[in-house]
A and B are shown apart, each in its own frame.
Chain A
Amino acid sequence: MAHAAVHDTHDTHDHKPQGFLHRWLFTTNHKDIGTLYLVFALIMFFTGGSMAMIIRAELFEPGMQLVQPEFFNQMTTVHALVMIFGAVMPAFVGLGNWMIPLQIGAPDMALPRMNNWSFWILPFAFLLLLSTLFMPGAGPQGGWTLYPPLSLQGSNSIAFVILAIHMMGISSIMGAINIIATILNLRAPGLDLLKMPIFTWSWLITAFLLIAVMPVLAGAVTMLLTDKYFGTSFFNAAGGGDPVMFQHIFWFFGHPEVYIMILPAFGIVSEIIQTFSRKPLFGYQAMVYALASIAFLSFIVWAHHMFTVGMPLGGEIYFMYATMLIAIPTGVKVFNWVTTMWEGSLTFETPMLFAIAFVILFTIGGFSGLMLAIVPADFQYHDTYFVVAHFHYVLVTGAIFAIMAATYYWLPKWSGNMYSERWGKIHFWMSVISVNVLFFPQHFLGLAGMPRRIPDYNIAFADFNMISSIGGFWFGASQLLFVGVIVHAVYFSKNRATSKVWEAAKGLEWTVPSPAPHHTFSTPPVIDDSMLAHGDVSH
């Protein structure tokens, strides 16, 4: 079989046209599934975003103006669940689906049908979750962390929320298994692990984290379910259990989950910075080891989310120092991004602008994280807007900015057309200014003592809240530009992209035509080290 073709037993893709539903519902093609994930993530981004707009509108002024407190609490809870499980994670999985096979010279994902199922569980899971907002007794109001006893004292919709989370977990685990099997089994011959593109590396490690912790979340929410409906006492002190136990199990999932939402972003930013600096990534191997170290540390720091819950002193001190250790591999990464740019021949196309903004703003989020890691300081910051500001710096200007950077970076490869650089840059500048107007004042609010998850506040917090809300509406409106740029590039742009797209782009994905054909690498490519970004790492 030296002629080597894709063996497709009923190969309908290439020979006859398929119906719309047939194509998108039954697909086993990694590019189609990647597109489905990305479109779904964008829809969820706007769904969760409109909830954020409601939150910021209510907080525009002190006092109760627009919504009931119960509805406000549903908005904070569901906004978080939608953004985490519906927007950020599916967007990264979509990028992984599209790019990992292209980056490693594989014809598709290792388990293509399971790949389809991973995606098609998600719309049903979110239908279930969002439907709770319309149920009698309303949706979940206890925060996305679902801490008992509060989460169990709300309405009956908690059963729907928990089962929706189970479905999202099944989807994530299958998606992650697929990614690991693809990377370990389908690399083109000669593409050693330490020659792999850094984005693929970041996903390999992220997928491991997903398989390790999503089942733990499943266990935690199952215990919630049985405590509510089947009379167990896991989180009931009268029965010998402990509500704090939920927090331990939840955050054993939750902290690695945080890194699940940032490690692929690290990979994306590393790819983009080397391309637009026209230099290989500085310290490629150190970057890989830093990713692995961060992933390892993520398993042993969880209780820093619960310093004020009443842990023994030894636990507080251990979790404080373990958390601070994370600054070391993260510092390596930031240092290497900066050093990659150092003396590079830089140009500032939209992906690079987002990547540079990521490096600066994610680092701000990292520093506020270090502040939160200090136990006595955290007693002051805990459950205030300082925490809200911290995790929005790492998730919005971190994860979301990286996703946008990746979209601009690879969109020409997906669609075959260049986006409008002018409007991309306008989108960038609107986003980067408004996001700081939105979140930076929240640091001050938190330090001054404004608590999270409240619809009304002391009049002393009025000015900063109004500024923050203005930034919020501005940021939200700016994202309409993002959709506009994408739609224009895909359907209307006359500016055809070359295979290589970017002057200094290196790697297998830039050797296939733009747009990438439906099937790529039907035969394994012959690896020429000089066309890889990290082909000669032996030095």
Chain B
Amino acid sequence: MAQSHDAYYVPHGSHWPIVGSIGLFSTAIGAANWMNGSTSLMAAPLFYLGLVIIAFMMFGWFGTVIRESVAGNYNKQVDVSFRMGMMWFIFSEIMFFGAFFGALFYARMFSVPWIGGEGHGGLTNYFLWQDFTPSWPTNGPGNIGGTFETIPAWHLPLVNTLLLLSSGVTITLAHHALRAGYRRALLVWLGATVILGASFLYFQATEYLEAYQHLNLTLGSGIYGSTFFMLTGFHGAHVTLGTIMLIVMWFRCAKGHFTRNDHFGFEAVAWYWHFVDVVWLGLFVFVYVL
């Protein structure tokens, strides 16, 4: 941190980006072949190989950055660039979820009522779907996927809401401990956050099992099943990623990578965790309660 503002930092070249591209390429080819029913080595095995390459790339790339950071190569300006990068990345994630929330709102406000003959959908209903009465939840006039029941909002989803909200508190307490220089408290609160996140994932998995085994609520349950599983599924994937990031941060804290005033890696994960938290509140209200 000895550098003043008039010193610029430009990192040296790196082979990790091209490794990452090869990883993405393998993952994409493998996934596409797999989805199309191929059982060859170019399908599932290539997909997993790609994921391994991406994980390897992230391990190496982040490792390089951490080494450079701990060595004190980065100045204030680099720190600000990292912050902006993370903020705009989270903004892009919000827009990604926006697409699926948009699909949910569109289905509930427009497409389902229109199929039922409301608004300007009268003729559609008359000629194609005469017996359909619009309601929510629904799997549409074709009863796609068969009759199903929904997850009651005030059971597991409520527990999960409380878990995630508490985890938002614990990570803030961890941050306060970090800023105050109390490493033991930091590790306790951060560890608590990891446990809360993992508990959330456990209950989410329980809920999915319940839905598939007892409620006949599946990804194929018409528009309700589609929006339910895609929204909660992508959210769950983000919680999984966030939890992994929290675990990495726990080890980095334990190794003493962070100082009271310089711990952007921790803060970035905290931002990400709060983002995941806020998305869940939207899910709880619009997917489960309403």
Binding site for B on A (CB under 8 A): 1-2, 4-12, 22, 25-28, 106-108, 110-114, 116-117, 120-121, 123-124, 127-128, 156, 159-160, 163-164, 166-167, 170, 173, 176-178, 180-182, 184-186, 189, 211-216, 218-220, 222-223, 225-227, 229-234, 236-242, 244-245, 248-249, 252, 310-313, 519, 521-524
In the bound complex, do residue A160 and residue B32 qualify as a contact, i.e. CB atoms below 8 Å apart? yes
A245 and B102 alpha carbons, distance in the complex (Å): 9
Tell me the bound Cα distance from A26 to B61 in angstroms.
13
Closest A residue to B140 using CB positions: A240
A232-B80 in contact (CB<8A): no
CB neighbours of B8 from chain A (8 A): 4, 6-7, 106-108, 186, 521-524
Chain B positions within 8 Å of A180 at CB level: 84, 88
A120-B18 contact in complex given A6-B10, A110-B85, A112-B10, C-beta closer than 8 Å: yes
| Chain B positions within 8 Å of A220 at CB level | 99
> Are B6 and A4 in contact, CB atoms less than 8 angstroms apart?
yes
B144 CB contact (under 8 Å) in A10, A216, A239: A239
Q: Would you call B3 an interface residue if the criterion is a C-beta within 8 Å of the partner chain's C-beta atoms?
A: yes
* Interface residue ranges of B60-104 to A (CB < 8 Å): 61, 68, 73, 77, 80-82, 84-85, 88-89, 91-93, 95-100, 102-103
| B residues at A contact (CB < 8 Å) | 2-18, 20-22, 24-25, 28-29, 31-32, 35-36, 61, 68, 73, 77, 80-82, 84-85, 88-89, 91-93, 95-100, 102-103, 106-107, 110-112, 114-115, 119-120, 124, 128-129, 138-142, 144-145, 218-220, 222-227, 229-230
Interface pair B85/A111, CB less than 8 Å apart:
yes
Q: A239-B140, A240-B138, A248-B102 are in contact. List 19 more A-B contacts (CB 8 A).
A: A6-B8, A26-B17, A111-B85, A114-B85, A173-B89, A173-B92, A189-B5, A189-B6, A212-B92, A218-B96, A219-B100, A223-B103, A233-B144, A234-B103, A239-B145, A240-B115, A240-B224, A245-B103, A245-B111
**Contact, CB under 8 Å: A226 / B230:** yes
B220–A231 touching, CB < 8 Å: yes
Which label, helix, strand, loop or mixed, suits the secondary structure of the B interface? helix
- Mostly, the A contact residues are helix
Residues on A with beta carbons closer than 8 Å to the beta carbon of B2? 1
Q: Could you tell me the distance between the alpha carbons of A519 and B9 in the complex, rounded to whole angstroms? A: 12
Query: Is B28 a contact of A160 with CB atoms below 8 Å?
Result: yes
Residue pair B15, A25 in contact (C-beta under 8 Å): yes
Which of B16, B22, B68, B219 sits near A231, CB closer than 8 Å? B219
Contact partner of B21 (CB less than 8 A), chosen from A113, A120, A249, is: A120
Instruction: Please state if A110 and B226 are interface contacts (CB–CB under 8 Å).
Output: no
Taking a contact as CB atoms under 8 Å apart, the answer to whether B225 and A117 are in contact is no
How far in angstroms is the closest Cβ of chain A from B61?
7
Chain B contacts for A215, CB-based, 8 A: 92-93, 95-96, 98-99
Given A111-B81, A229-B35, also A249-B99 (CB < 8 A): yes
Q: Contact: B9 with A241, CB < 8 Å?
A: no
Contact indicator B7/A216 (Cβ below 8 Å) = no
- Please measure, in the bound complex, the distance between the C-alpha atom of A186 and the C-alpha atom of B85, giving whole angstroms: 13
Q: Are A241 and B10 within 8 A (Cβ)?
A: no
A1 touches B4 (CB 8 A): yes
Q: If A117-B17, A184-B84, A185-B80 touch, does A167 touch B28 (CB 8 Å cutoff)?
A: yes
Report A-chain residues with C-beta under 8 Å of the C-beta of B124: 237
A211:B92 contact, CB within 8 angstroms: yes
Chain B residues with CB under 8 A of A249:
99, 102-103
B80 touches A112 (CB 8 A): no
The listed residue (A108, A124, A226, A240) touching B24 by CB distance below 8 A is A124
